[in-house]
Amino acid sequence: MYNSPVRIAIASDHAGFALKEALKRALGPSGERLDDLGTDSDAPVDYPDFAEAVGRRVASGAYDRGILVCGTGIGMAIAANKVPGVRAATVWDEATARLARSHNDANVLALGARDTSPEVALALVRVFLETPFAGGRHQRRVDKVAALDRRKAG
């Protein structure tokens, strides 16, 4: 899909740390540019800080996609979606990962470490990275979401 390596910002809270590290090991040699924005241990931290860091970098265009990992993926997605320009989706199977990209043009993937194995998480990341946005009738809806961001910022 991309002519050059995909630029990915990844981060987790303490509950997602081990899964984030497993994803980094698996993705490292596959050609993506992967930058870890934290956390660096399983010591308790506040997930909104990491969701914002990834969200701001994706929204600015510095990164093509973001990956966030917490216990359920829900908190990270909620926090990341507060950043204008972010469309974060919590996914749990390949169908939701594919639809998040093809219908919603999601640019941040949120995963739940408590119920997602490293093997499943890697499969979800792959689907998320490889699925293009379908555009067409979905573009109008994504444009309306972007308009909500502009109203919120203004």
pLDDT at 44: 98
pLDDT digits over 111-152, tens only? 999 999 999 999 999 999 999 999 999 999 999 999 999 997
pLDDT digits over 21-57, tens only? 999 999 987 767 999 999 999 999 999 999 999 999 9
pLDDT at 89: 98
CA 101 – CA 96 distance, rounded (Å): 9
pLDDT at 133: 98
* Domains of the chain in sequence order: 7-153 (3.40.1400.10)
Whether the per-residue pLDDT at 86 is higher than 90: the answer is: yes
Question: Token pair for residue 128?
Answer: 């998320």
The set of catalytic residues is 70, 103
Beta strands, E only, the chain: 7-12, 33-36, 65-70, 88-90, 108-112
Structure confidence at residue 1 as a pLDDT band (50, 70, 90):
very low
Amino acid identity at 98? R
The answer to whether 39 and 73 are in contact (CB under 8 A) is: no
Whole-prediction pTM value? 0.95
